[in-house]
Amino acid sequence: MSRLMVGGWVLTFVLAGVSAMAQNKLDCPGDLSEPDADFDGELQVLFENLEPFLGPLPLDSTDLDVSGIPDQAELALLVTYLKGMGRDAPLTVEAICQFEANKALWLTDGLLADFENVFGASPNAIAALMSMSPAMNTVFQTLGATETYPVIHWPGEEGEPPPFSINGDLDRDGLTNMEEWANVISSDRRVEDYIQAAAYPGLDGSNTLPLISDAGLALLIALLGMAGLRLFRRRAV
């Protein structure tokens, strides 16, 4: 066998690999398939549809995975990233791609097929919940999900706690999301405060002003402004 022939095969494999990687990126450009999806509204419908089976499920306090943080708050934190308002661009793309893959998988799940009337109106909320943490995956496995759903990780950090789980440290400020939630609760504050605390290293849930003075301040103001606008719009509806 000539060196030229071997080299040709190697080149063919390399080009095939590059082509496959490019195809994967084309498959997931990092955009939401439904950018206007109402995740919070879908969660409320899901809870209402589960109430005949599980009893009362208040939107602002239900904690299906017994994580210690209401599911509405956990979902809202992930949605901040899915909607492009997170600080960590590589994680944003990773989150959107894993969410979209899980959403496609969920649409083939036997649980959805068997209970379309319960789960059918909440595909975005359910896919986001299952993308968030192993604990939330367990909830849907217990309910009868037939597929297994990978959880969002930082690219190349699959061994670390998932960034949107309670043991994750989304903003890498040394406090887990659970610790930031505990600070928010002990300060008698709300879901919006938790999102800001968990997503920004200048906030830990107990402080109301960012502990920063660099260009990050402008980014934070923009982020908070967008979050406030969204909240205002939601309340105005």
For the bound state, the minimum distance from the C-beta of residue 15 to Ca ion, rounded and expressed in Å, comes to 42
Among 164, 171, 194, 227, binds Ca ion (CB under 5 A): 171
Instruction: Tell whether residue 125 is a contact of Ca ion (CB under 5 A).
Output: no
Instruction: Tell whether residue 173 is a contact of Ca ion (CB under 5 A).
Output: yes
Nearer to Ca ion, 67 or 131 (CB): 67
Site string for Ca ion, 21-60 (x = CB under 5 A): ----------------------------------------
Euclidean distance between CA atoms 59 and 231, whole angstroms:
16
Nearer to Ca ion, 109 or 171 (CB): 171
Long-range contact list for 39-42, CB < 8 A, 24+ apart?
A: 39/75, 39/76, 39/79, 39/82, 39/124, 39/125, 39/128, 40/72, 40/75, 40/76, 40/79, 40/125, 40/234, 42/121, 42/122, 42/123, 42/124, 42/125, 42/126
The pair of three-digit structure tokens given for residue 28, joined into one six-digit string: 């997931």
With a CB cutoff of 8 Å and minimum separation 6, the contacts of 178 are: 67, 68, 69, 166, 167
Alpha-carbon separation of residue 201 from 23, 57, 196, 205, 210 (angstroms)? 35, 32, 9, 10, 9
Among 43, 57, 71, 168, binds Ca ion (CB under 5 A): 71
For the bound state, the minimum distance from the C-beta of residue 5 to Ca ion, rounded and expressed in Å, comes to 55
Nearer to Ca ion, 28 or 139 (CB): 139
For the bound state, the minimum distance from the C-beta of residue 76 to Ca ion, rounded and expressed in Å, comes to 11
Instruction: Tell whether residue 193 is a contact of Ca ion (CB under 5 A).
Output: no
For the bound state, the minimum distance from the C-beta of residue 186 to Ca ion, rounded and expressed in Å, comes to 15
Helices 89-106 and 123-132: crossing angle in degrees, nearest 10, is: 120
Nearer to Ca ion, 67 or 98 (CB): 67
Quick count: other Cβ atoms within 10 Å of Cβ 216?
A: 15
Shortest-Cβ-distance residue relative to Ca ion: 67
Instruction: Tell whether residue 67 is a contact of Ca ion (CB under 5 A).
Output: yes
The pair of three-digit structure tokens given for residue 111, joined into one six-digit string: 């649980």
Stretch that binds Ca ion, among 14-22, 65-73, 107-115, 153-161 (CB under 5 A): 65-73
Instruction: Tell whether residue 65 is a contact of Ca ion (CB under 5 A).
Output: yes
**Which residue ranges make up the site for Ca ion (CB under 5 A)?**
63, 65, 67, 69, 71, 169, 171, 173, 175, 197
